[in-house]
Amino acid sequence: MAELIQYANGVPGIKWPLDKTVVRIGRSENLNDIAVDDAYASKSHAQIEVVFNQDTSELEYYVRDLESTNHTFHNQSPIQHVKLSHNDTVMVGKSKFVVLIEGVREYVSAEQATVITAEKTKNAEESLAEVVEEITREFKHAEDEDDLDSTIFASESGRHKFSRRLNIY
C-alpha cells in the first residue's frame, strides 16, 4: 500500500497509509483524515485520490487542491490536480509530505475496483448532500433581499459562492 511520509523540521515523521479512495489533508481535525497544525494550511486544503486504472489494473494516486488559500504544491509547483509518482513531494501550507509508491505495485481485482468505485460515488453523494444542506440553511436565514443576494452571488474574492461549493469531483 502506498504511503505519505509527513516531515517535521526536515526529518521524516509520521507514515500515513493511502488506504482509502480519498485521504483529505488540512487544518481541521473534524474535516480531514490528516490534520496538520499549520497556520498556512486551509481547513480543507488538499486530498489524495486513489483511482483504479482499468487498462493496467493498477491503482494510481493523484493530489487535488481544494481551492486552498495558499495552494497545494507538487514538487515545488502550485497545482490544481496532478498524478503522483514515487518520491514526489506534496506541500500543504508549510507541511511537507513525500509519496512512497514504488515497490508497492498494487494490482486490483474487478471486485475490488467495484468497491473503490462505489465508495467514491458514495463520497460524492454525501458531499453533495452536505452542500445542499448548507445552502438550504443559508436561504432559510436570509432576512431580506440583500442577505439573499450575498448568499447567492459573488463573494469579495469574486467567486460565486454556489459554484465554489458545488465543485464536487
- What is the per-residue pLDDT across 130-141, written as a single tens digit (0 to 9) for each? 777 777 777 776
Instruction: Report the DSSP beta bridge partners of residue 51.
Output: 60
Distance separating alpha carbons of residues 47 and 29, to the nearest angstrom: 14
Choose the weakest-confidence range: 53-57, 104-108, 131-135: 104-108
Distance separating alpha carbons of residues 119 and 101, to the nearest angstrom: 22
The mean per-residue pLDDT over the stretch 50-78 comes to: 94
**Is 80 exceeded by the pLDDT of residue 111?**
no
**Angle CA(50)–CA(107)–CA(48) in degrees, nearest 5?**
10
Residue 153 identity: F
Model pTM above 0.85: no
The length of the chain is 169
Alpha-carbon torsion (54, 18, 164, 130), positive or negative: positive
**Is 60 exceeded by the pLDDT of residue 27?**
yes
Label the pairing between strands 46-53 and 58-65: antiparallel
Q: Where are the alpha helices (DSSP H) in 12-160?
A: 110-141, 145-152
